[in-house]
């Protein structure tokens, strides 16, 4: 949904990428893609469910980093990633405690 709303912004504004960051991001995505399909091939439980974390999220991060025209936007993106990760860990730990103990 967010990507669909950002398409007009991408058309009006040229996306800028640092070549090293873009290359490392693509290496990350392709490596994750390989290991997810290896897990599917070996019938690992949860390989398909975890593919969104290892493939789709890095692609979306690379996409949104392209909109960062100054360093303050990168700080905001880093805060969103950090706080989202902390909230996700908090909720998963509360669910884990609820169902295990």
For residue range 44-71, what is the model confidence (pLDDT) as tens digits?
A: 888 888 888 888 888 888 877 777 767 7
Task: Write down the pTM of the prediction.
Answer: 0.59
CA distance 17 to 13: 13
Residue 64: its H or E element: helix 57-65
Q: Please give the pLDDT value at position 9.
A: 57
Q: Please give the pLDDT value at position 45.
A: 87
∠ CA 74-14-25, rounded to 5°: 50
Q: What is the overall mean pLDDT for the chain?
A: 77
């Amino acid at each position: 949904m967010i990507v669909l709303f950002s398409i007009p912004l991408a058309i009006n504004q040229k996306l800028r990428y640092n070549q090293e960051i873009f290359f490392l991001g693509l290496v990350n995505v392709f490596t994750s893609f390989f290991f997810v399909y290896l897990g599917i091939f070996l019938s690992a439980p949860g390989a398909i469910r975890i593919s969104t974390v290892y493939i789709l999220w890095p692609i979306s991060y690379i996409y949104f980093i392209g909109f960062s025209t100054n360093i303050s936007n990168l700080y905001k993106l880093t805060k969103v990633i950090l706080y989202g990760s902390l909230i996700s860990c908090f909720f998963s730990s509360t669910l884990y405690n609820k169902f295990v103990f």
